[in-house]
Homo-oligomer: A and B are copies of this chain.
Amino acid sequence: MNKPETLKKLRVVGTTPVRPDGQEKVMGRAVYGDDFRLPGMLHGRVLRSPHAHAVIKSIDTRRAEKLAGVRAIITGKDFPKPSVALVPMGEGGYFDMNDFADNVIAKGKAFYHGHAIAAVAADSPHIAEEAIALIDVKYEVLKPVMNVRQAMAKGATVLHKEFNPGAFFMKTERVLPNASRLELKNGDAAKGLKEADVVVEREYTTETVHQGYIESHICTAQWDSNGLITIWCTTQGAFAIRDQVSIILAVPMSKVKVIPLEIGGGFGGKDTAYIEPLATMLARKADKPVKIVMSRAESLLSTGPSSGTYMKVKMGAKKDGMLSGGDLHFAFEAGAFPGGPIAAACLTSITRYNLPNVRIEGFDVMVNKPKIKPYRAPGATQSHFAVETVIDELAEKTGMDPVDFRLKNVTKQGDRLILGFPCPPIGSVELLTAVKNHPHYNAPLKGAHRGRGMAMGFWFGAGLTSSAELSVNGDGTVQLCTGSCDLSGTRLTLSMQCAEALGIDIDDVVPSIGDTHSVGYTFQSVGSRTTFATGIAVYETAQKILKQMAERAALIWQAAPDDVVFGEGIFTHKNDPSKRFGFKELAAKLDHSGGPISAQSTVTPHGVGFQVAAHLVDVEVDVETGKVEILRYTTFQDAGKAVHPDFVAGQMQGGAVQGIGWALNEEYWYNEQGQLVNTSLLDYRMPTALDMPMIEAVIIETGNPGHPYGVRGVGEVPIVPPPAAIANAIYRAIGVRPDALPMTPAKILKLLQQRRGSAAA
């Protein structure tokens, strides 16, 4: 096990070198999707449904075709049946590729405002835009269902006569025309609640929110005369886009080459093909490369936000603060097609606590909104909002400090988790102890309408497949090529693990990101997996390099390979310590002792370390306007081992910022016809730097034994606690518990009215 004391010996891991891509990005020279262009390239634009739910009676493209400069027009009819129907995903779940295909372009029915209906490629973006306005579509408008309760109500409009149920990574069962269900159980929930001394039951709603990546979706596609499709795009996973395009267009996987460009944010939203199949089909039809750039409105309208929800949480605790039982009900939007994050929402909802008797019921609910996508710890932010405010109330009602209450119940290594397996090593106690001991927790908070709140967060993280390749040069420098798109500095965190393993300096490692034709399969940069799983691929590859180099040293020394040992950057003859080679010294001898060396690994590691975080926040509520101001914010998180502490802090801060936005401002606004009316980030009310306090990041390092340097993923869990922590702080400030996100001034004023009402009563 990687205990902190052993991790202290690391030479590169744990330091904070400058990122190799930083300066180019700051200078505006890194190549993002919009910077990329090909000679003779056409520009694509997409006609999108103005209706939330409508049968497409006819599409007449004749007027558009006549416009000078229009080179190709496609509709759903141009697309084949996907080559694969169901792609297994996780434990019994799967993706229905027909849904993915229908989400790319409507076939007969538009399921949400913004659903693609047709696409045009033209000589300029302006001509393409003019052309889509000339496409005549006849719709039969249907009544939309716009939230989970509407969709689950009797007599609700049915979106799909048939569908393959399935949540993000578990099987669900269709139980209602628009919804499917899963249930998780531990012990006897009813008995546990009956035995409780205190029971809290509350209902919650949250709204649809978007990841809000600053760079929209952009791609350029080419279909060459030899049948090779090349796609340059902004994505979290070149192979994910490759696989989807291949299946949706029914072409062999090897014929789709995806070249990932720099990415301006993803957060889970950029591993699904939206415009890529459209640009590719246009490229084939026009016989020229086609670029499509989504506008901000299109990005909000047509890509995958996170679910709005209805949640009902009932939990009980004994007088001593031990949780005894719970009955949890979560209904999450799936959007227009099945497969939202309900399984993850349920699985993570109470995993951080030992709850002996619990029933969790989850519903994956179709509504006339874009197909829901993972957004940083998908589903957990919503379910934690409900559970962590109930926990806060239970702590209050049992008269306990909220940290002490959690410490009493928190899951420790070996505790049995909801799916039956024992909890791996986890820094939950260390985390909560750090909160308790932190100056913020112990600082006085004086003044009216001020309150301090705290919430904990949990996330699984992912392992999955990653590939890395290493080549050693004669001057002792190395190239590291991986398949992981760099969302958050992983070029550097992977290079650091490489330098650590090879005993060289970080400056001697030059990282690059391969395309789908030059690097082994690598699952997308999601699930906080890159520094963990691709890190293991790098480490394994470095071991292969060291083995080959030791063999060369043996050859040069005329020794047996086993006689050569490597440590602290030096190859030594174990029986003759005078025989020594530094890495660079030996690298210079490779060419003439058998040739240059390289190595490659594709790994699918287990041993992903769970992520736990706790956030502590002080707020002040302006009781005149209902505005909540954040006075102080501290995040605590177990990073296992922080490869680059500044980057870890950046993830913690970034996640907190997004969670704060979700807590206080962000939401999709639909009108009665189901049309999205706030299609800019200003109206959507993404927070700005002015809305944010400094966020302090406290990193705890407990070591993850599943990774050679003790790494856990760190990217997702920081978005989980903010809404609950802020709700708990608001309660302390105004004495009423918020039960709906976002906690806008209007909602806070309503809560204040409520309080005055109940005080008056």
Bound together, the chains give a CA A518 to CA B512 distance in angstroms of 7
For A39, the closest partner residue in chain B by CB is B35
How many residues in A have their beta carbons less than 8 Å from beta carbons of B?
61
**A147 CB-CB contact with B under 8 Å:** no
Bound together, the chains give a CA A475 to CA B88 distance in angstroms of 14
Among the listed B257, B465, B510, B598, which residue makes an inter-chain contact with A521, where contact means beta carbons less than 8 Å apart? B598
Q: State which residues 84-120 of A face B: CB under 8 Å.
A: 84, 88
Among the listed B24, B84, B255, B595, which residue makes an inter-chain contact with A465, where contact means beta carbons less than 8 Å apart? B595
**A519 CB-CB contact with B under 8 Å:** yes
Bound together, the chains give a CA A517 to CA B495 distance in angstroms of 13
Q: State which residues 454-509 of A face B: CB under 8 Å.
A: 464-465, 467, 469, 471, 473-475, 477-479, 481, 507-509
Inside 8 A of A594's CB, which chain B residues have their CB?
604
For A243, the closest partner residue in chain B by CB is B474
**A161 CB-CB contact with B under 8 Å:** no
Contact in complex: B481, A517 (CB < 8 Å): yes
Bound together, the chains give a CA A599 to CA B591 distance in angstroms of 22
Q: State which residues 514-541 of A face B: CB under 8 Å.
A: 514-521
Inside 8 A of A591's CB, which chain B residues have their CB?
88
Interface string of A225-246 (1 = CB under 8 A from B): 1101000000000000001001
Contact in complex: A602, B592 (CB < 8 Å): no
Inside 8 A of A567's CB, which chain B residues have their CB?
none
**A69 CB-CB contact with B under 8 Å:** no
Among the listed B29, B477, B520, which residue makes an inter-chain contact with A598, where contact means beta carbons less than 8 Å apart? B520
**A597 CB-CB contact with B under 8 Å:** yes
Contact in complex: B257, A226 (CB < 8 Å): no
Inside 8 A of A467's CB, which chain B residues have their CB?
471, 598
**A433 CB-CB contact with B under 8 Å:** no
Among the listed B35, B228, B253, B509, which residue makes an inter-chain contact with A475, where contact means beta carbons less than 8 Å apart? B253
For A520, the closest partner residue in chain B by CB is B598
Inside 8 A of A228's CB, which chain B residues have their CB?
20, 510
Contact in complex: B510, A255 (CB < 8 Å): yes
Bound together, the chains give a CA A381 to CA B37 distance in angstroms of 46
**A672 CB-CB contact with B under 8 Å:** no
Interface string of A288-332 (1 = CB under 8 A from B): 000000000000000000000000000000000000000000000
Contact in complex: A465, B596 (CB < 8 Å): yes
Bound together, the chains give a CA A423 to CA B596 distance in angstroms of 27
Contact in complex: A510, B254 (CB < 8 Å): yes
Shortest distance between the CB of A166 and any CB in chain B (Å): 15
Bound together, the chains give a CA A83 to CA B473 distance in angstroms of 14
**A404 CB-CB contact with B under 8 Å:** no
Among the listed B257, B475, B595, B600, which residue makes an inter-chain contact with A600, where contact means beta carbons less than 8 Å apart? B600
Inside 8 A of A598's CB, which chain B residues have their CB?
467, 519-521, 600, 602
Q: State which residues 229-278 of A face B: CB under 8 Å.
A: 243, 246, 252-255, 257
For A590, the closest partner residue in chain B by CB is B521
**A21 CB-CB contact with B under 8 Å:** yes
**A444 CB-CB contact with B under 8 Å:** no
**A60 CB-CB contact with B under 8 Å:** no
Contact in complex: A469, B520 (CB < 8 Å): yes
Inside 8 A of A478's CB, which chain B residues have their CB?
254
Bound together, the chains give a CA A481 to CA B518 distance in angstroms of 6
Contact in complex: B520, A519 (CB < 8 Å): no
For A592, the closest partner residue in chain B by CB is B88
Inside 8 A of A246's CB, which chain B residues have their CB?
475
Inside 8 A of A464's CB, which chain B residues have their CB?
595
Shortest distance between the CB of A22 and any CB in chain B (Å): 7
Contact in complex: A24, B224 (CB < 8 Å): yes
**A413 CB-CB contact with B under 8 Å:** no
Shortest distance between the CB of A566 and any CB in chain B (Å): 20
Inside 8 A of A465's CB, which chain B residues have their CB?
595-596
For A515, the closest partner residue in chain B by CB is B518
**A27 CB-CB contact with B under 8 Å:** yes
Inside 8 A of A596's CB, which chain B residues have their CB?
465, 520-521, 602
Contact in complex: B517, A24 (CB < 8 Å): no
Contact in complex: B518, A519 (CB < 8 Å): yes
Interface string of A570-599 (1 = CB under 8 A from B): 000000000000000000000110111111
For A591, the closest partner residue in chain B by CB is B88
Bound together, the chains give a CA A44 to CA B519 distance in angstroms of 34
- CB-CB under 8 A for A473 and B518, given A596-B602, A602-B597: no
Shortest distance between the CB of A252 and any CB in chain B (Å): 4
Contact in complex: B602, A517 (CB < 8 Å): no
Among the listed B512, B516, B519, B599, which residue makes an inter-chain contact with A257, where contact means beta carbons less than 8 Å apart? B512
Contact in complex: A252, B477 (CB < 8 Å): yes
**A23 CB-CB contact with B under 8 Å:** yes
Inside 8 A of A252's CB, which chain B residues have their CB?
473, 475, 477, 507-508, 510
Bound together, the chains give a CA A484 to CA B37 distance in angstroms of 27
Inside 8 A of A515's CB, which chain B residues have their CB?
518
Q: State which residues 16-36 of A face B: CB under 8 Å.
A: 20-24, 27, 29, 35
- CB-CB under 8 A for A512 and B517, given A253-B473, A255-B477: yes
Contact in complex: B254, A473 (CB < 8 Å): yes
Shortest distance between the CB of A623 and any CB in chain B (Å): 51
Contact in complex: B254, A477 (CB < 8 Å): yes
Interface string of A590-622 (1 = CB under 8 A from B): 011011111110111000000000000000000
Q: List 6 A-B contacts (CB under 8 A).
A: A29-B224, A252-B508, A254-B473, A254-B509, A479-B517, A520-B600
Q: Which 10 A-B pairs have the closest CB atoms?
A: A520-B598, A595-B604, A600-B600, A254-B477, A521-B596, A253-B473, A254-B510, A518-B518, A23-B225, A465-B595
Q: A29-B225, A255-B510, A594-B604 are in contact. List 6 more A-B contacts (CB 8 A).
A: A20-B228, A23-B226, A246-B475, A257-B512, A465-B596, A595-B604
